[in-house]
Amino acid sequence: MNIYLPIAEISVNAFVLLGLGGVVGFLSGMFGVGGGFLITPLLFFIGIPPTVAVATGANQVVASSITGVLAQFRRKAVDVRMGLVLLASGLAGSTIGLWVFALMQARGQVDLFVQLSYVVFLGTIGLMMFQESLRAILRSRKPDPARLRRSHSHTWVHRLPLKMKFRTSGLYISIIPPALAGAGVGFLSAIMGVGGGFIMVPVMIYLLGMPTKVVVGTSLFQIIFVSAYTTTMHAVLSQSVDLMLATLLILGGVIGAQLGTRVGVRLKAEQLRILLALLVLAVAMRIGLDLLIRPAELYSVSSGMLS
Amino acid sequence: MIARRPLAALAALLIAALPALAQGTGEAASESIVAGLSQNRVDITANFSGSEILVYGAVKREAPPPDDRPLHVIITIEGPPSPLTIRRKDRVAGIWVNDASVTIDSAPSFYAVAATGPLGLILLRTEDQRYRISLPGSIRAVGISEQANEAPGFVEALLRIYERQGRYRLSEDTVRFSESTLFRSDVVLPANLTEGDYRVRIFLVRGGQVVDTLERVIGVRKKGLERGIWSLAHKEPLLYAVLALLIAVVSGWGAAEVFRRLRF
């Protein structure tokens, strides 16, 4: 059953869109990432114009994050206070990001800039997570009684001023690292057109020392608002949110996210992390290969004048 | 001096009118086209999956056919034109990036040519250029050679990419023409249609020369839900954004609630 998308101005099979939303929603619920880094390239792939894909993808991320976060709230796995600190700094960061994005657009190299940031950030984070979670899995298989396990280690992060209690996470740390992390992620997410969950999750685990169970819910909580902000900005500035496309993606997405959350709970934290790492690495490699291999069609056509 | 001016003006007028006169005395007066379209409006609704339009008509004659040279019919349909940017990727420091680009003033979003035979055989090249009938003629690319090296390559790429997308098509031998009088052709408009006025041109050709032309317009418009969404997005963007977020919130919350009730 084909359906005509009023903003994208193309006709696409409705079940393909439902399925796409479902798969991305599933992964998003399982790993606590918004799924923007998956949905946007997938929409490009089925021929949705890039501006519409970025804007509508953000809208779908709002829906799957909400459905995911509600499940996490019931499990008391959302650190609202940490989420708010990350959110406030995240919005500031993404405003700066939007400005830099416009600057790059004027220079005509925004495509390359986005692709390179995908490869660099997804690649680095994917590798770090993969390495760490592999070590964790090996450690759990070979129990080492001589090694004392501490709940979290004290680093420079714990010596900074402006300390705040984050009860759900069991942390008493300065708000400076989360605020900086939030701003950095907000900046990157505006440039890459994603919610930033795949960056936020490892930052929370490795830099802030939050327990993995709380990380998923808190990350989703923060992503809802960052994506809602992005959606609104795109709708107002470039009228590029396609409601028809969004509704189909969302329908598939919310169902997928519910199933994903339930599967995610049954997996061990290390397994979850290694799977997310592999997924992130796969996307980074795919985009990286596009840059390295000679494309079949060297030319591309886009409507409108070159800025 | 003063006396010469009206003379010169008269001479200029005569020279300008000459080709028209020459044409007028030819076959154009004796044979002309009457034609109709099965529909002059296409509504894009949510389940729009393309449209087939029947172009039909007849050759009207005041006198018997002037000569034995075969008569042909060519039909073109042209979608609303817009400016385009064509980019070429080049290898820079080991990676493929968009490098050179060319801006085309105006290229149709859709262009289909149907004819009673191969264009190269039934139409003189000069006539093709004059009426801009075949594909490359419909693209206005003035001054592109200053924008990049090998500029023609960019236009070729545009034709290639749009042909692959079904936006540009040349279907020779698809106009049925009986008794050199009645003709009909089915033109398929694809599902990926841009809104706007589609110009239909019908050419009557004898001996490679155009003897009569006729023009019709098909209005392609979004209807119903499609129109509503598009208008809201452009007229009330903030309200539209709120609506988009509302859909996200309600479905996100709804799904969570349904799954909780199911205790799945």
Measured CA to CA, the distance from residue A166 to residue B205 in angstroms comes to: 83
Average pLDDT of the residues of chain B = 82
Residue B63, pLDDT above cutoff 90: no
B262 and B150, same structural domain?
A: no
User: Which one-letter amino acid corresponds to residue A61?
Assistant: V
Query: Is B52 a domain residue?
Result: yes
Residues B104 and B27 in one domain: yes
Beta carbons of B96 and A290 less than 8 Å apart: yes
Separation of first and last alpha carbons in chain A: 38
Same-domain status, B218 and B241: no
* Six token digits for residue A93: 């960061």
Classify residue B7: in a domain, yes or no.
no
Please give the average per-residue pLDDT across B78-107, as a whole number: 84
Q: Which of residues 26-85 of A touch B (CB under 8 A)?
A: 59-60, 62-67, 70-71, 74
Going by pLDDT thresholds of 50, 70 and 90, the confidence category of residue B25 is very low
* Whether residues B130 and B260 fall in one domain: no
Residue B38 lies in a domain: yes
The answer to whether residue B2 is domain-embedded is no
Q: Tell me what ipTM this predicted complex has.
A: 0.79
Shortest Cα–Cα distance, B149 to chain A (Å): 14
d(CA B228, CA A69): 32
Q: Report the C-alpha gap between A30 and A264 in whole angstroms.
A: 4
Segment 132-161 of chain A within 8 Å of chain B by CB: none
Q: What angle do CA B5, B8, B14 make, to 5 degrees?
A: 145
**Do B136 and B249 have their domain in common?**
no
Q: Looking at the domain assignment, is residue B5 inside a domain?
A: no
User: Residue B143: which residues within 8 A CB-CB, separation 6 or more?
Assistant: none
B114 and B150 within one domain? yes
| Same-domain pairing of B214 and B143 | yes
SS3 B207: coil
Q: Are residues B66 and B191 in the same domain?
A: yes
Q: How many domains does chain B have?
A: 2
Q: What is the predicted pLDDT for the residue at B264?
A: 56
Per-residue confidence (pLDDT) for residue A149, from 0 to 100: 45
Say how far apart CA B104 and CA B158 lie, in whole Å. Answer: 10
So what's the pLDDT on residue A212? 78
Provide the token pair at B196. Answer: 């706007």
- Selected for mutation to probe chain B from A9, A74, A237 (highest B CB count within 10 Å) is A9
Q: Which residues of B touch A250 (CB under 8 A)?
A: 247-248, 251-252
Q: B212 and B231 share a domain?
A: no
Looking at chain A from residue 190 to 249, which residues have their Cβ under 8 Å from any Cβ of chain B? 228, 231-232, 235-236, 239, 241-244, 246-247
From first to last of its 307 residues, what are the pLDDT tens digits of chain A?
888 888 888 888 899 999 999 988 888 778 767 677 788 778 877 878 777 887 888 888 888 888 878 877 887 888 888 888 888 988 888 888 878 877 776 666 666 777 788 788 888 888 887 888 888 888 877 655 544 444 455 566 666 767 777 777 777 777 888 888 888 888 877 777 676 777 787 788 877 888 877 888 888 888 888 888 888 888 887 788 899 999 999 999 888 888 888 888 788 777 887 888 888 888 888 888 888 888 778 887 876 554 3
Q: Is residue B132 within 8 Å of residue B123, measured between CB atoms?
A: no
B180 and B50 in a common domain? yes
Residue B62 covered by a domain: yes
Taking an 8 Å cut-off on Cβ atoms, the answer to whether B89 and A244 are in contact is no
Q: How far is A56 from chain B (nearest CA, A)?
A: 9
To the nearest whole Å, the CA of A221 is away from the closest chain B CA by: 13
Answer yes or no: do B264 and A262 touch at CB < 8 A: yes
* Partner-chain contact B85 A302, CB within 8 Å: yes
Q: Provide CB contacts within 8 A for B245, sequence distance 6+.
A: A59, A62, A228, A231, A232
- Looking up residue B29, the CATH number of its domain turns out to be 2.60.40.3880
Closest CA–CA distance from residue A307 to any residue of chain B (Å): 10
- Same-domain check for residues B71 and B122: yes
Specify whether B156 is located in the same domain as B195. Answer: yes
Parent domain of B243: 223-264
Q: Tell me if B4 is assigned to some domain.
A: no
Residue B8 lies in a domain: no
